[in-house]
Amino acid sequence: MDSTIIMINLFGAVALLLFGLAQIKDGVSRAFGARLRTGLATGTRGSLRSFLSGLVATVALQSSTATALMTASFVERDLIKPRMAQIVLLGANVGTAITAWIVATGIEWLSPLLILSGIVLYRSRSSTRQGGGAALIGIGLMLLSLHLLSLATEPMRASPALAAFIGLLDGALPVALLFSAALAFVSSSSLAVVVLILSLASAGLISAELVIVLVLGANLGGAIPPVVATMSGPASARRVTLGNLAVRTLGCLIALPLAGYGAEIIEMLPFGPSKLPVDAHLLFNLLLAALAWPFSRSLAALMTRLVPDQAEPDTAPKYLDAHELSTPVIALASATREVLGIGDLIERMLIRVSEAFERNDASKLAEITALEERVDRLQQAVKVYLSKLGREGLSDENARRSIVVIDYAINLEHMGDIIEKGLLEQVRKKIALGLRFSDDGHQELRKLFDLTIDNLHVAQTIFVTRDFNLARQMMEIKVEVRRMEKQSAERHLERLRDGRTDSLQTSSLHLDMLRDLKRINAHIVSVAHPIMDENGLLIESRVRTAVE
């Protein structure tokens, strides 16, 4: 019974740690996501800045996986060069190690204060403060989990079963490395595994050599989730995450035979033995960054050869199989997958227009018309496919889902029309006439472009999961977009009244782009309407009823 309670306490503490890390990531993304993405995308013009950008982003997000996925998406959009992306991830690895080192300095006593401060901030009306509050709560929970881990591992000293298991790992170091890598992969957090190793080491349960090997495994396993997440993505994104995995794998292969010597060297440093896991974690990533940095260009070139660009996919529907129409559930699932692909095409169109606007590069607009035609064809194919299901034999739930799928496909097609007939022409005009927006106006449109792309990501998730909380957040985002559009228009008019030449020249373009981005967001938000309607939270009219 005692061993059962100990394991429950241990797993509960680990679960709290993972939840705290997730809260930090979500809170920071909500409060500072746009700034972090902008900083990461613009902070890669030099090797040192790239390294520091990755480090800072990871310390802020508490997730090297999130940094890796952001970096991969920027490479896909040609915002970051492949070589710089590899250096960003070296910085991200060091950022995770620094976070673990700070956590191990004995600041658990701050946990109640951080949670209290976070709750106070979270109750405010500002979304930025709410995000900051969620991040503080996450940090507090993470520190609290460290205390609980310490309490949970203390009784393990007398456990013969654990002693036997650790003895097995001590005698088979490659197995220990793979075991630790598996834990990091399953939890999607090398930081969580290093903290667990720290708790076991502080309790005197594992040898110094085994500590080194387990830390190596945590580093290896932490590089796998980004690879899995980008497997279905474009080749440019996969090269980034695979390159990071290759660097860590090579580092582990070199360090594994030297683990015993490494433990002796680290123990000679002026640090406490209880901090060996975080010291080893930090030292390994610093050495790996120093060794891999000079070869970042060669690594990027190697990844390009190993992961060649794929041929353009066929424009015909991929998932609409007529044989599946006899089974409505499967047919609806196939149609859902096809519509998700349409959403990806819309995202690609938005990204291309955004890039052309940012860089004054008309070549980015070359494929917009072809993409829009493809969206039209696929949307029509989905409607025809689902119309063949008919009404007979369809349950009420499947009938409702069929309508939702068609409605979302139609909304995506409308977005494509707005991009092609509105944003495309406006950006073309800006480039052709050499117009320059004011710095404030440019930044306002840039933020609205980024928010629109982020909102489309959320809409795709809502379309698949039908998550009520996400749907409610999406409805709140609609108000935020309306507010941003109104404020931007008001500030633009103020600049016009001030007689600013750049604002006068781009006045109609600025207002037209604001209007079109707002319209696109309105179509994006519509994905939440069926879910809110089912829960009785959608009103038919925004017009206030007069009181008699």
Q: Return d(Cα 433, Cα 448) in angstroms, integer.
A: 23
CA atoms within a 13 Å half-sphere pointing along the CA-CB vector of 289: 26
CATH 1.20.58.220 location in the chain: 322-534
pLDDT score for 324: 84
pLDDT at 547: 41
The answer to whether residues 364 and 353 touch, using CB atoms and an 8 Å cutoff, is: yes
Copy the structure tokens of residue 475.
Answer: 């409805």
Q: For residue 506, what are the CA distances in angstroms to 88, 346, 441, 537?
A: 36, 26, 9, 40
Q: What angle separates helix 439-465 from helix 507-525, to the nearest 10 degrees?
A: 10
59 neighbors 99 (Cβ within 8 angstroms): yes
Q: Is the whole model's pTM more than 0.85, yes or no?
A: no
DSSP one-letter string for 499-528: T-HHHHHTHHHHHHHHHHHHHHHHHHHGGG
The sign of the torsion formed by the CA atoms of 27, 69, 88, 143 equals positive
Rounded CA separation 87/76 (Å): 16
| Cα 109–chain centre separation | 31
Contact between 76 and 237 under an 8 Å Cβ cutoff? The reply is yes
User: pLDDT by residue for the chain (548 residues), tens digit each?
Assistant: 466 777 788 788 888 878 887 888 777 777 766 666 666 666 667 788 888 888 888 887 767 777 887 788 778 766 788 888 899 899 989 988 898 888 777 777 788 888 999 899 888 877 778 888 888 898 888 888 877 877 777 776 666 777 777 788 888 889 999 999 998 888 877 888 888 888 888 777 788 888 889 999 999 998 998 888 788 777 888 899 999 999 999 999 999 888 877 667 766 766 556 788 888 889 899 999 999 999 999 998 999 899 887 655 556 788 888 888 888 888 899 999 999 999 999 999 999 999 888 888 888 888 898 899 999 999 999 998 888 876 556 788 888 889 999 999 999 999 999 999 999 998 888 888 777 777 777 888 888 888 899 889 989 999 988 888 888 888 887 777 777 777 777 766 776 666 555 455 566 787 888 889 989 999 999 998 888 887 776 555 444 444 43
Count of all residues that appear for the chain in the document: 548
Q: Give residue 237's pLDDT.
A: 83
Residue carrying the six token digits 């960003």: 88
Q: Which helix (H) or strand (E) holds 57?
A: helix 47-61
| Spatial separation of the C-alpha atoms in residues 247 and 297, rounded to whole Å | 13
Distance CA 59, CA 72 (A): 18
CA distances from 253 to 82, 184, 244, 290, 369 (A): 24, 17, 14, 17, 49
| Cα–Cα nearest to 100, from 258, 268, 218, 12 | 218
Q: Where are the alpha helices (DSSP H) in 110-258?
A: 111-122, 127-153, 160-171, 173-187, 190-202, 208-222, 224-229, 235-255
163: which residues sit within 8 A by CB, 6+ positions away?
Answer: 205
Whole-angstrom Cα Rg for the chain: 26
Quick check: helix, strand or coil at residue 46? coil
Let me know the angle formed at the C-alpha of 520 by 519 and 524, rounded to the nearest 5 degrees: 120
Cα–Cα separations (whole angstroms), residue 242 to 40, 89, 282: 20, 11, 22
Q: What pLDDT does residue 193 have?
A: 86
Report which of 27, 250, 36 is spatially closest to residue 142, judged by C-alpha positions: 27
For residues 163 and 531, give the distance between their C-alpha atoms in angstroms, rounded to a whole number.
52
Contact 166, 210 (CB under 8 A): yes
Domain 322-534 carries which CATH code?
Answer: 1.20.58.220
DSSP state for residue 173 in the 8-state scheme: H
Phi, psi of 245 (to 5 degrees): -65, -40
